[in-house]
Amino acid sequence: MERSDFSLSVPGDVCAPAGFRAAGLHCGIKKQKPDLALLYSEEPTTTAAAVFTTNRVQAAPVRYCRELMAGGRARAIVVNSGNANACTGAQGMRDAREMASLAAGALSLEPSEVLVASTGIIGVPLRMEPLREGIPRAARELERTGDAAAEAILTTDRFPKTASARVQVGGGTVTIGGMAKGAGMIHPKMATTLGFLTTDARIGAEGLQRALRTAIDRSFNRITVDGETSTNDSVFLLASGAADAPALEGEEALGRFTEALTGVAERLARMVPLDGEGATRLVRVRVEGARSADEARAGAYRVANSLLVKTALRGGDPNWGRVMAALGDAGIEIEEEKTDIWIDDLPLVRNGLGVSGSVEKGRELLQAEDREEAVDLRIALNLGTGEASVWTCDLGEEYVRINVAYN
Amino acid sequence: MERSDFSLSVPGDVCAPAGFRAAGLHCGIKKQKPDLALLYSEEPTTTAAAVFTTNRVQAAPVRYCRELMAGGRARAIVVNSGNANACTGAQGMRDAREMASLAAGALSLEPSEVLVASTGIIGVPLRMEPLREGIPRAARELERTGDAAAEAILTTDRFPKTASARVQVGGGTVTIGGMAKGAGMIHPKMATTLGFLTTDARIGAEGLQRALRTAIDRSFNRITVDGETSTNDSVFLLASGAADAPALEGEEALGRFTEALTGVAERLARMVPLDGEGATRLVRVRVEGARSADEARAGAYRVANSLLVKTALRGGDPNWGRVMAALGDAGIEIEEEKTDIWIDDLPLVRNGLGVSGSVEKGRELLQAEDREEAVDLRIALNLGTGEASVWTCDLGEEYVRINVAYN
């Protein structure tokens, strides 16, 4: 993940960039675990960007933030876990608004400067009492590390997910930080992906939104766990402007910033399919030579979401027949006799036919005990120049067991 | 399933209609179980119709039959299980052609009068020796029952699937019979759905094809197990014309025939999601009030294929949040606050909000020990008049365990 022009090895989280403080604590929406996070920018001129779920059923905090984001400004984000405030009707909207007001009051901000995110159970009204006590407490506990916040946004994740990067751009150095929660592998009522990115770059709302959209298209929009889309998925980006660097302007500077932002977003996004019971392998599905980038992406997603491909990967079986059948069902142009498939550097299929002996070699390769790196499943359609990669994971019995048992 | 104007209670299979004989035996493609079936019509004027998989990757027998079907005539179908003859290149086409020639030789037919179907492992060349011995033997063993044939087309199915019906139409009585093999729940390399329908009606190839297309759209195209589509899926229909009844002509007669054919196809199709380890419940997902029939169908399929909905059903959990999230992700118009959901007659969601106490009642309803009938999951979008139903099944750990272990 190291790139020539920026460093991802900077340890840090949402508080790595200058001007941010964060808090995380238990207020009582969950029984015991941390369930409330607050992220705050000290700079009055902070700009904001966000991308939201494409699900037509949208949780109250998503609806609330969509309206607010028209202005491109925000100073704080208040987040609860344990309850998604989704499918909660008019009461849900009132509750999202009250969450913003509580944070605004505690931070001496306008309510319109506070964004809201929720994750957890669907269809159950949010209990506001714990938040009325917890949000002011979180405001008092703000600190210069995002550790507690990164814990408090989790639902069933096994580990907190943070990343940061520093980039030389436009004659100065700016820092980017982030945290995320995972999705979908375990408790689907809590299957939301939330991402929170911060930077101390000074950058206008329009450029910020463009940079975030590009970064998300290349990261959070390139992962899949089970093909499900949540009612609450959101990624936010706040830019404090507190870095000792000139404002970011012009295509080149914005391009460099976007690339570093993408690096942080990719690092966070790839932690998602790796987290959660049931996932043991990170898998990159790459389609090359499609008629278009859109067809490459559709093909990669179809393979990455195929139950049969994912269970084969879990079993360490390079079952290319399942891959061919999934490709054939992707609604894209494919010519069987032109198709090649590799796992890592091992050719499995050449011109649509199995390569002799490759299944045995592929099995050794996938089942190697010391294997740690992601599996690279590469497909060449040899029809054009479209290409795309999607990150997925294998799928095991735990996924089903937990999703069956969850009530 | 009893309807006023035709009877599905007639016991029988592909040999129920006059003029058909069938055989099923073990020739050696599988180790022990029956793996070769032959279906034969005694009538030289037999017409034929077929529908095939929409997968872009198509097995050799599918490609072979597509060409042949242009004529709308066939007298016999030879079927092997244990090997799908898919992703087998030019050799696969030669093998499919040889299967047809072997059957034609043994039955004194032209090769162009013989259709071919295969199901089983993908990507491995068919061993022809067992077929060269087995096909002539099957021709000698033809009998007036489809029992052995219905066994020989199975791969990992737990039970053979046959059905028949008798219908008064056009001043006479005609009979329809059928057999099918199931799909996808267990051994996905063998995930093919094959259906073989027969009738003694006298009916032109064009009307026959139209009747089959309509029947399949309402039956085999309305079931889903895991969202996967096979390289080999095919349904065939032969009409011997041997019934003591006038030729079927005119919209009314064809309509009545199509309705009875649909009844047989539905009965066979619904056995598919019920068969295979892991499936314990048949579930009808019905979407009403969509903007169009297409949107209703897309919504029903999205819900019916949702891993989270299917695992919830397995757990006996009326988790309507998962249903709402799947609907929102179906690419169709949905307004959360207009949406109602029921399980059987129990309202779970009214105007997008959970009905108080309904989750507990729904749990009792789903978990009732004596429950045998299919689960009825009904969704009203209240946006238009489009409606559609899809049949699916629940999904449990067995599905994953077997698909992980299968090599």
Interface contact A320-B57, CB threshold 8 A:
no
> Are B136 and B105 a contacting pair, CB within 8 Å?
yes
Contact residues, B window 70-109, toward A, CB-based 8 Å cutoff: 86-89
Instruction: For residue B225, give both structure tokens.
Output: 């197990």
Q: What is the pLDDT of residue B310?
A: 86
Instruction: Using alpha carbons, select from A65, A49, A66 the residue that is nearest to residue A100.
Output: A65
Residues of A with Cβ-Cβ distance to B56 under 8 angstroms? 327-330, 332-334, 336
CA quadruple B47, B51, B56, B57: dihedral positive or negative? negative
pLDDT band at A225 (very low <50, low <70, confident <90, very high): low
**Residue bearing the bigger pLDDT, A385 or B183:** A385
Q: What is the pLDDT of residue A407?
A: 41
Does the CB of B395 have a partner CB in chain A at under 8 Å? yes
CA distance B42 to chain A (A): 37
CA distance A72 to chain B (A): 27
Helix (H) or strand (E) holding B29: none
User: Which of A308, A324, A396 comes nearest B87 by C-beta?
Assistant: A324
Q: Is B281 helix (H, G, I), strand (E, B) or coil?
A: coil
pLDDT band at A189 (very low <50, low <70, confident <90, very high): very low
Interface contact A57-B327, CB threshold 8 A:
yes
Interface contact B123-A396, CB threshold 8 A:
no
- CA closest to A334 among chain B residues: B56
Listed in sequence order, the DSSP H helices in A156-306 are 205-217, 251-274, 293-304
Distance CA A100, CA A142 (A): 17
Q: Which residue has the tokens 């589509």?
A: B229
Its ipTM equals 0.80
> Are A113 and A72 a contacting pair, CB within 8 Å?
no
Instruction: Using alpha carbons, select from A292, A388, A302, A304 the residue that is nearest to residue A333.
Output: A292
Interval B75-101 mean pLDDT? 96
User: Which of B55, B188, B328 comes nearest A56 by C-beta?
Assistant: B328
Name the CATH topology of A282-405: Ubiquitin-like (UB roll) (3.10.20)
Burial class of residue B10 in the structure, from the number of CB atoms within 10 Å of its CB (0-12 exposed, 13-18 middle, 19+ buried): middle
- CA closest to B395 among chain A residues: A400
pLDDT at A91 over 80: yes
* DSSP type of residue A111: G
pLDDT at A185 over 50: no
pLDDT in tens, B356-370: 999 999 999 888 877
Contact residues, B window 10-69, toward A, CB-based 8 Å cutoff: 54-58
Instruction: For residue B384, give both structure tokens.
Output: 């238009």
CA distance A143 to chain B (A): 36
Contact residues, A window 272-311, toward B, CB-based 8 Å cutoff: 306-308, 311
Q: What is the pLDDT of residue B116?
A: 98
- CA closest to B400 among chain A residues: A397
DSSP letters spanning B170-188: TTEEEEEEEEEE--SSS-G
**Residue bearing the bigger pLDDT, B308 or B206:** B206
Question: Residue A224 catalytic?
Answer: no
Optimal mutation site among A228, A229, A302, A307, interface B, most CBs of chain B within 10 A: A307
User: Which of B57, B307, B315 comes nearest A325 by C-beta?
Assistant: B57
Residues of chain A with CATH 3.10.20.340: 282-405
Residues of A with Cβ-Cβ distance to B87 under 8 angstroms? 320-321, 324, 336, 349, 352-354
| Three-state DSSP string of A5-63 | CEECCCCCCCCCCCCEEEEEECCCCCCCCCCEEEEEECCCCCEEEEEECCCCCCCHHHH
Percent of chain B exceeding pLDDT 70 equals: 91
CA B305: distance to chain centroid?
17
User: Which of A54, A330, A407 comes nearest B315 by C-beta?
Assistant: A407
Interface contact A123-B307, CB threshold 8 A:
no
For chain B, helix, strand, coil in percent to 5 are 35, 25, 40
Instruction: For residue A382, give both structure tokens.
Output: 């040899």
Q: What is the pLDDT of residue B315?
A: 86
Instruction: Using alpha carbons, select from B173, B177, B179, B200 the residue that is nearest to residue B16.
Output: B177
Terminal-to-terminal C-alpha distance of chain B: 39
Q: Supply the residues of B annotated as catalytic.
A: 192
Interface contact B311-A407, CB threshold 8 A:
no
CA distance B77 to chain A (A): 24
Beta strands in A182-231 (DSSP E): 194-199
> Are A313 and A281 a contacting pair, CB within 8 Å?
yes
CA distance B153 to chain A (A): 21
Q: What is the pLDDT of residue A3?
A: 38
Interval A374-379 mean pLDDT? 94
pLDDT at B289 over 50: yes
Residues of A with Cβ-Cβ distance to B325 under 8 angstroms? 55, 57, 122, 191, 228-231
Q: Which residue has the tokens 């055989």?
A: B23
Q: Which long-range contacts (CB under 8 A, 24 or more apart) does A295-298 make?
A: A295/A332, A295/A333, A295/A384, A295/A386, A296/A381, A296/A386, A296/A387, A296/A388, A297/A388, A297/A390, A298/A330, A298/A331, A298/A332
Q: Name every residue whose Cβ is closer than 8 Å to that of residue A224 and which is 6 or more positions away in sequence.
A: A273, A301, A304, A305, A390, A391, A392
Q: What is the pLDDT of residue A244?
A: 93
pLDDT at B190 over 50: no
Q: Choose the catalytic residue: A162, A192, A198, A392.
A: A192
A355: left (phi over 0), alpha (psi -120 to 50) or beta: beta
pLDDT at B407 over 50: no
DSSP letters spanning B315-383: TT---HHHHHHHHHTSSS---GGG-EEEETTEEEEETTEEPTTHHHHHHHHHH-TT--SPEEEEEE--S
User: Which of A123, A306, A397 comes nearest B401 by C-beta?
Assistant: A397
> Are B47 and B206 a contacting pair, CB within 8 Å?
no
Does the CB of B122 have a partner CB in chain A at under 8 Å? yes
pLDDT band at B225 (very low <50, low <70, confident <90, very high): low
CA distance B325 to chain A (A): 6
Distance CA B49, CA B1 (A): 25
Average pLDDT, chain B: 89
Q: What is the pLDDT of residue B103?
A: 98
Optimal mutation site among A85, A121, A233, A400, interface B, most CBs of chain B within 10 A: A400
pLDDT at B270 over 90: no
pLDDT at B62 over 70: yes
Distance CA B381, CA B334 (A): 6
Optimal mutation site among B62, B93, B308, interface A, most CBs of chain A within 10 A: B308
CA distances to A222, A283, A322, A378, B164 from A381, rounded to whole Å, are: 20, 19, 16, 10, 44
Contact residues, B window 320-349, toward A, CB-based 8 Å cutoff: 320-322, 324-330, 332-334, 336-337, 349
Q: What is the pLDDT of residue B188?
A: 35
CA B75: distance to chain centroid?
22
Instruction: For residue A23, give both structure tokens.
Output: 């808090």
Distance CA A376, CA B348 (A): 44
Instruction: For residue A303, give both structure tokens.
Output: 């393979």
Question: What is the arrangement of strands in the sheet containing B234-239, beginning at the earlier edge strand?
Answer: B6-7, B161-169, B172-181, B194-199, B234-239, B47-52
Instruction: For residue B270, give both structure tokens.
Output: 């619904």
CA distance A6 to chain B (A): 36
Question: With respect to CATH, is domain A6-271 assigned 1.10.540.10?
Answer: no
Distance CA A281, CA A316 (A): 10
User: Which of B89, B306, B322 comes nearest A353 by C-beta?
Assistant: B89
pLDDT in tens, B380-406: 999 999 999 988 888 877 777 766 665
Interval B92-118 mean pLDDT? 98
CA distance B308 to chain A (A): 7
Q: Is B225 helix (H, G, I), strand (E, B) or coil?
A: coil
Interface contact B56-A334, CB threshold 8 A:
yes
CA quadruple A139, A145, A146, A151: dihedral positive or negative? negative
CA distance A362 to chain B (A): 12
b or e along B29-44 (b: 16 or more beta carbons within 10 Å of the residue's beta carbon)?
bbeeebbbbbbbbebe
pLDDT at A10 over 70: no
Terminal-to-terminal C-alpha distance of chain A: 39
State how beta strands B172-181 and B353-354 pair: unpaired
CA distances to A53, B204, B332, B404 from B329, rounded to whole Å, are: 10, 43, 8, 28
Distance CA B114, CA B381 (A): 47
Torsion of CA B261, B266, B267, B269, to 10 degrees: 120
Distance CA A382, CA B183 (A): 31
Q: How many CB atoms within 10 Å of residue A43?
A: 17
Task: Please give the backbone phi and psi of residue A298, each rounded to the nearest 5 degrees, phi first.
Answer: -60, -40
User: Which of B307, B329, B352 comes nearest A55 by C-beta?
Assistant: B329
Least confidently predicted of A19-23, A107-111, A155-159: A155-159
Interval B275-283 mean pLDDT? 74
Residues of A with Cβ-Cβ distance to B122 under 8 angstroms? 321-322, 324-325
Residues of A with Cβ-Cβ distance to B57 under 8 angstroms? 324-325, 327-328, 334, 336
pLDDT in tens, A257-309: 999 999 999 999 888 877 755 678 889 999 999 999 999 999 999 999 888 88
CA Rg value for chain B: 22
Average pLDDT, chain A: 89
Q: What is the pLDDT of residue B55?
A: 85
Least confidently predicted of A304-318, B48-62, B119-133, B195-209: A304-318
Does the CB of A354 have a partner CB in chain B at under 8 Å? yes
Residues of chain B with CATH 3.60.70.12: 6-271
pLDDT at A209 over 80: yes
Instruction: Using alpha carbons, select from B89, B38, B32 the residue that is nearest to residue B63.
Output: B89
Q: Is B133 helix (H, G, I), strand (E, B) or coil?
A: helix
Q: Which residue has the tokens 């993908």?
A: B122
pLDDT in tens, A321-374: 889 989 998 999 999 999 999 999 999 999 999 999 999 999 998 888 777 678
- CA closest to A186 among chain B residues: B308
Q: Which residue has the tokens 């397995």?
A: B314
Beta strands in B182-330 (DSSP E): 194-199, 234-239, 282-290
pLDDT band at B66 (very low <50, low <70, confident <90, very high): very high
Distance CA A348, CA A357 (A): 9
